[in-house]
Structure 1
């Protein structure tokens, strides 16, 4: 009851905590809503196929289920025949997907789905797609296409395939996306089978038919119905969803940290301003445990109110988040937000837990207030640094140093996370240890002013800050977070933007490169036109891993004479160790067409990403993977071609490095701006609220100063100066906490890229964060002080 009464009476004191929880829950709620909505969906082209049979999965090298292991054509046809005889099955369709892309006016028609756009004509029955004009393809030279492409029956259309462009006759048009070849032609273009679809007499009885189908399929495959049919989701869709999930997860984690940080700082300041009140409660018999429960109860109340408001805000903000993700091209084509209860409930529970967690330190501090403090008019901090604060600050500092060191030696995937973790630790350490630093800084800065100025303001500012170092630390805390995160994130982005292209340019010096241009890869025709240079053909292969069963890995087909040897393979040391093979042994490789070959391991070499972990003949890869596309052709500058075919672009080393990093840079920059907005936005709320709390909590002080002859102008000058100095301390500490993680990142990038990488910052972002923090702090403090003084000024 007392906690609820305090919440009603001290609404201003809890405003920042309420808003922080509200926005934190909203951000986490939006993240969970997007994650829930972004689950793999059944492709629209499979809508009329209530039952699918897919081959077994292989595990990846970490042991998690990964790629489907395609059946060979003969096995798939035999299985489809057995499924055809099941009661309730009207027909079966062997479904295929492979690369096909239209070229118009000599240029590729951009299409994200091109890698999986090719199908056999029978697959139109799975949507079903209707024939709008013309007829089904009857020969290898015919293709049916989407009516939206703007061509009609009898037109000639250049269709790019993995083998190269082919001019084909449009046999007809359908009302859905894709290129539909004869089933025989599709089987030649993609002989491996990843799915057999069953069309049923009664789709409503899919469950019963599935049971009979499982008995027929046995352990040769898996029968899926309902949402499980999303197992055939194209790889580019899965990749886009992964990028979107990573982006919003980073925002949610940062929001979670800043929420805890803001709530803890706000409640610490609120508790410090209530020492007399808490001392009075202790004087009338309140036990420390009761004081702790009161503080935690207040936090739980704030958390519950903020959680409810945040849940509503999450639903309202979900369309905006969808629009942002769509604009960044990190969502599936048919992505739509669906609101369900569990994401909002989970976010609300996290919000209440975060509020209580943030109040834990404040509750322990409040429980140490002595009853005698209820009799004190002046609140002088006798021990700004407690043992617990020393231990927590030292631990955070030590952990931050450790993470900063690890940042320098970590891989690319972990470097950003470690740098962010290090910055979080340093921000916490700076806040906890700030009372130790504030005293010396204030003495140094204010000593000349106090000696030379006849004004009272510098003396009062010096005395106030030295007397209340914990309060100063609490008001500086959100500024430390705002400036720290803004500088860190912008610094990481700018440093990586320079380092990665520079490192790639150095590695590729002396070469020109042919890269895809609005296509997912390069065809064999482009490779054949440029016979000199490296042109690896990537594929996925399945190997039997001792003790783990079938495992999928990335492999390369090379035309380099060192590796292009029939019947042989070259392995990296890690891959050879994983599969327990040595040079001279044989290994059975299953390819994506479902067939297997036995290869001799000719050599085991040190790991080299540029060479590949498993390298074999390019011709062997093409024989088994007829839909594979070459990523890049690397050509010595002396043999550089003058022109390249449509769908390809010629680059020098620098332009290729910049273009290659462009997509990552765009996403990274977008993520950075969103993270900075979250961090600075949260911290701005806390800055405004803590300054206002400090002003409202000092009514008695202002009354004494007015009684002693202080004018409103003098008091406003005093408050503005004190706030500016406090904010400046926060800015300096915010800048300092970014140096170790950024230095660790630069050192790591120097080692990885083989170039000298120096720290780079965005002057605009850093300047905006610093000036914005100073402005918000001074404006909030002056405004709140004016509201406190205005009635008395008017009366005077």
Structure 2
């Protein structure tokens, strides 16, 4: 009851913490709710299946499970025979998937899922899709198509496949998407089996059938049922989900960090303002343990109230976040918000947890206040920070500097996340060291003003020196706002400058052949441009010495320098990872399930333009008939043998820049969302901490009024102090971002081969600084004005 009474009586001082927890819990609730809603769902074309039998998964370099290791035709046949013999199994279907896209009037028919639109006829039973007209395909020249395509049975249809344009006779139509060839023709185009579907007989329980299937396949496969069938997702949907998940993760991480950072800083300020009260309680016999439990209990109540309100706000904001992701095209199509319990529980646990942890950190020095402290005036901050705070700040500073250095040598896909991590650490270091910096900097800045003979600079200097802890707590949200705004906008600007420099060096004098309305280049498109490497990507599976099976990206090339039959050329890092040497025979498993021994013809320096595992293009095509080609680089003056539908030719440098501009617009949008969250969140904390700090100085203001100070002078003094603290915090926030941005620029220089310098966005820095100055100055002035008007 005492804790609840304290919260109610001191609600004005707890309001800042409550608002911070509310915003943080709301952001976490919204992001996790959208994340849960975007989880993979079972494809409609697999709705009739009871269970899916999937091969074991290979791992990538990081040890994460990735592609499933395809079965060879013989292995798949043995498994289907065993599964077909199980009681309750009506049918066993090997699901084939390959590229297929209709061509009309010389243009591919738009189809986002064309890369996986081709199937064998048996796969139509998995939905099931009904045959509306005609019959099933019997020969390799026959196809059944979706009725919505508008092609009647008996008509001729040109379908683009990996080999190129192929004429088919439409022999039937179904009520679902896809192009269905005969099972034999589909097996030729996708020979490696990755999915075996089980269709149940009537009245067969799913659990019993799945259990029997697991017994039959043993450790050679994984059997999934129910929602587990969502493991199979179209690649274009997975790509969107990946992008959306990255943004959601960034927003959630930013929310957790900012919540903990700001709540801790505000609790330090609020607890410091209660030193007189805590001294009185010590005088009346309260022990440090009792005081600590009181402060922790109050923080838990405030955190719980803030989390409850934040969860409601987050549920209201989830549809808005969903709509934003859909507009940015980084969410699965048709995403619907689905409310579940775990995002709410997680947000509540984080809200209460950061409140309690912040109160515990703030209470450690506060509860040790001596009973005689009650006889002194209330002190809002120490002249000097504690030794533990200084040591901790220096240690965190060293850790942040190390993270910034690692940013320069990190892999390309980890640089930005590592730069954000380094900035978070350095912002924390700046906040810990701020009490030691505010006073000295304040003295240096106000020293020239003392010559004016006015009392204002003296009071300003004294306020910053005596209230360094209070000033540091006010500066903390500004440091976070400026740090994140400068980092995110600077990272975008630095990458925007680096990309043209690297592309100009790499692509000068070349043209690029790209897919236009298709998911990749076909063999027909590659043959139309006989000059060029015509890379054909595939996935290769190899066994390492430690017994694990790993998957690597391989490229088929027609460049005679490194595309001889039966041989492979590796980059240095890949060779070291696999533990192979030049001249060694190394077995490699391909997409069709066949294992082929390859001779390692050479180990060359890593080169992204060449690839880290290069094979002969005919070898890749013979084992992966479903692979589509990458963009093709050719000399700028070369001409195609024939114009192939679904391709376009561009100047390589201009196309790369235009393509990057498209990606940059998405990056700008994502960065703007993150900046808005960080700055908006910090703005609330800035206003609250400034108001709390100004309200705590009522006694000081009364003394100044009694000695002749006017209301106008005191308001100007409060505004000047808030502006100076904001300016110092802006510099600290800027300094916290420079090392990570420098590391990012250095890493980009290494990867592009061109000099890249650090770029900042002056507009973003100016806008955030002015907003913080205006907010802090206005809040301090308003609260001071209200205080001095009281008798």
Q: TM-score, normalised by structure 1?
A: 0.93
Match of 1:322 in 2: 322
Deviation at 1:685, TM superposition (A): 0.9
Matches within 5 A, 1:286-685: 286-333=286-333, 335-377=335-377, 379=379, 383-452=383-452, 454=454, 456-639=455-638, 641=640, 645-662=644-661, 664-685=663-684
SS in 1 for 2:478: helix
What is the Cα deviation at residue 640 of structure 1?
5.4
Kept in 2, the 8 Å contact 1:51–1:224? The answer is: yes
Once the two structures are overlaid, the 10-residue window that deviates more, 144-153 or 498-507, is 144-153
- Give how far 1:133 is off: 4.4
Q: State how 1:748-767 maps to structure 2 within 5 Å.
A: 748-767=747-766
Q: Name the SS for the 1:239 alignment partner.
A: helix
Deviation of the 1:231 alpha carbon: 2.9
The 2-side partners of 1:54 and 1:361 are apart by: 50
Q: How far, CA to CA, are the matches of 2:436 and 2:549 in structure 1?
A: 59
Matched, 1:716 2:715: yes
Moved more, 249-258 or 198-207: 198-207
Tell me how far 1:260 sits from its aligned partner: 1.2
Following TM superposition, by how much is the alpha carbon of 1:391 offset from its aligned partner in structure 2, in angstroms?
Answer: 0.8
Rounded to whole Å, the distance in 2 between the matches of 1:769 and 1:380 is 28
| CA-CA distance at 1:722 after TM superposition | 2.2
Q: CA deviation at 1:628?
A: 0.4
Quote the offset at 1:318 in angstroms: 2.2
- Distance in 1 between the 2:548 and 2:480 partners? 49
User: How many residues matched?
Assistant: 791
In structure 2, what is the Cα distance between the partners aligned to 1:536 and 1:365? 65
**Counterparts in 2 of 1:205-224, with a 5 A limit?**
205-224=205-224
Deviation of the 1:580 alpha carbon: 4.1
Partner of 1:115: 115
What aligned pairs does 1:116-131 form with structure 2 within 5 A after superposition? 116-131=116-131
- The whole-number CA distance in structure 2 between the counterparts of 1:171 and 1:220 is 38
Distance 1:196 1:677, change over 3 A: same
User: In 2 relative to 1, CA 298–43 (structure 1 residues): closer, same or farther, beyond 3 Å?
Assistant: same
1:716-735 alignment runs, 5 A limit: 716-735=715-734
Matched with 1:248 is 248
Equivalent-residue separation in structure 2 for 1:425 and 1:74 (angstroms): 55
Change (3 A) 1:54 1:484: closer
Q: Which runs of 5+ in 2 are unaligned?
A: none
Q: Distance in 1 between matches of 2:352 and 2:402?
A: 31
- Deviation at residue 523 of structure 1 after TM alignment: 0.7
Distance in 2, matches of 1:354 and 1:110, equals: 50
- Tell me the distance in 2 between the aligned counterparts of 1:585 and 1:709: 91
Per-residue CA deviations over 1:755-774 (Å, capped at 9, x if unaligned) read 12122222332222111111
1:503 and 1:753 in contact (8 A); partners too: yes
- Residue 736 of structure 2 corresponds to 737
Q: Decide whether the 8 Å contact of 2:534 with 2:558 is kept in 1.
A: yes
Query: 2:474 & 2:649 partners in 1: Cα distance?
Result: 56
Between the aligned partners of 2:52 and 2:404, the Cα distance in structure 1 is 50
8 Å contact from structure 2 (residues 49, 198) kept in 1: yes
The alignment status of 1:87 with 2:87, answered yes or no, reads yes
Question: Hey, what's the Cα distance between the residues in 2 that align with 1:541 and 1:151?
Answer: 38
Cα 1:216/1:467, change in 2 over 3 Å: closer
Give secondary structure in 2 for the equivalent of 1:490: helix
Q: Is contact 2:528-2:640 (8 Å) kept? A: no
Describe the SS at the equivalent of 1:112. Answer: coil
The TM-score with structure 2 as length reference comes to: 0.94
CA distance in 1, matches of 2:584, 2:198: 43
User: 1:649: how far off?
Assistant: 2.7
- Whether the aligned pair in 1 keeps the contact of 2:511 and 2:650 (CA below 8 Å) is yes
Q: Residue 737 of structure 1 aligns to a residue in which SS? A: helix
Specify every segment of 5 or more residues in structure 1 that has no aligned partner in the other structure, as ranges: none
State the distance in 1 between where 2:224 and 2:464 align.
68
Alignment CA distance shift 1:642-1:511 (3 Å): farther
The separation in 2 between residues aligned to 1:602 and 1:458, in whole angstroms, is 76
484-493 or 201-210, which deviates more: 201-210
Structure 1 Cα separation of the partners of residues 402 and 344 of structure 2: 36
8 Å Cα contact 1:156-1:170 kept in structure 2: yes
Render the CA deviation track for 1:528-582: whole Å, top value 9, x for unaligned: 0000011111111222323314332221111011222222222334444444443
CA contact (8 A) 1:505 1:657 kept: no
Secondary structure of the residue aligned to 2:205 is: helix
